[in-house]
Structure 1
Amino acid sequence: MTTTFFLVRHAAHDRVGTVLCGRMAGVYLGSLGKAQAERLAQRFASEDVACIYASPLERALETAEPIASRLGYSVRVCEDINEVNFGHWTGTSFEMLNQDPRWSSWNHSRSTSRPPEGETMLEAQGRIVRAMEQLRIRYSDRSVILVSHGDVIKAALLYHLGMPIDSYHRLEVEPASICTLVVGDWGSKLLRLNEVVAA
């Protein structure tokens, strides 16, 4: 028995690439992101999906809502697929972070580094993998959509591919992309990585 997971990164917001938003409140999709969310809803319209879960952050919920509406479901919030807790770095520009040696350490060794007052990537990996295992048992032989965040999705993929967490930079997970993973008692299989729905 297997469960198919569609791991969806939230669509674009106006701070992508400039600010480490982390778990800061009030980060909403921009016009591009809203269009991407609608395209995702069209992409999933013909899929047989059991449910859709999203991170509690606004940008994830805004991405999930058009998909859920198209499928006739309500979005369920799952704290375990929330963004990495970046602690004191939350809301800091990447320009400022690039001057912080701890930021360099974090990006060179995610397995041993921790954001100040935040969580490690291994801790984030543990919670999304735990959530997926619970959902796999609950939705055996079904499909589930999880709308989450780039680093958290990478952490899940690395676990299921048997790769170290420091290999995160080898995977590309763009805004509004879909990674499709099948998980069973026998192990895992990645069917699609970074699928982006064309405009």
Structure 2
Amino acid sequence: MNTNIITLMRHGQVAGSAGLYGHTDIALSEQGYRTAMARLQQLHQAPPITRIISSPLVRCQQVAREFSIREQIPLQLDNDFMEMHFGHWDGMAFSDVQDWQALEAFWDKPAEAAAPGGETLAQFAGRVINAWDRLLDENHSGHQLLLCHGGVIRIVIAHLLQLDWRNAALFRQLNIDYTSHTRILLADHPHARPVIQWIGATH
């Protein structure tokens, strides 16, 4: 029985202070670029990556495109794997936030306190889960790599484990570091359930 793989990889460090970048098209720092390319090379060793799916945002797409060209791996961009849209906060460094009370309410109860002008958590989760289910329906064999964002990875993990994605602990207490990788195993037989082999590995 064959086992297919989907590896979820978060993008590298961005060229900016810590903040809510969401849909903001911020580039990688030099270190973030080098680390991401090295991680892709590592993940390509065993077994080799056979397809890359990437968020279209430059912090994901740049290295995904360059690596796909270098290694001759098919690349697919998917808007539905973009990070959550943080509305009026999108692109704002934490040091520039004025209304900390509203931001704290968002962190404490993200399903109830949406970012002003942004996506609700329900909209974000629905978008990511639909994209994930669509990816599984394609029945692609081999080793697929999904290069995306921390919020996306958390929603996928919650979906696979049937956890409540409205729980703030998923976002406040589950660390998904830059260039960390989470591996999903898919047995190649009807009704097989995806198995999470590891979460947020950094080596």
Query: What amino acid maps onto 2:164 in structure 1?
Result: P
Question: Secondary structure at 1:163's aligned position in 2?
Answer: coil
In structure 1, distance between residues paired with 2:17 and 2:75: 24
Query: What amino acid maps onto 2:27 in structure 1?
Result: Y
Question: Secondary structure at 2:163's aligned position in 1?
Answer: coil
Q: More displaced, 44-53 or 167-176?
A: 44-53
| Aligned pairs, number | 195
Unaligned runs of 5+ in 1: none
Counterpart of 1:33 in structure 2 is 32
Q: More displaced, 4-13 or 90-99?
A: 90-99
Q: TM-score, normalised by structure 2?
A: 0.85
Q: TM-score, normalised by structure 1?
A: 0.87
In structure 1, distance between residues paired with 2:98 and 2:174: 21
In structure 2, distance between residues paired with 1:86 and 1:189: 31
In structure 1, distance between residues paired with 2:132 and 2:3: 12
* 1:7-41 deviation digits (Å, cap 9, x = unpaired): 11111112252x3222123x111111111122122
1:83 is displaced (CA, Å) by 1.1
Unaligned runs of 5+ in 2: none
1:128 is displaced (CA, Å) by 1.9
Q: Is the 8 A contact 1:2 1:136 kept in 2?
A: no
Percent of aligned pairs sharing the same letter: 21
Q: More displaced, 114-123 or 44-53?
A: 44-53
Counterpart of 1:10 in structure 2 is 11
1:55 is displaced (CA, Å) by 0.7
The 5 A counterparts of 1:37-52 are 37-46=36-45, 47-52=47-52
Is structure 2 residue 110 aligned with structure 1 residue 110? yes
In structure 2, distance between residues paired with 1:77 and 1:114: 27
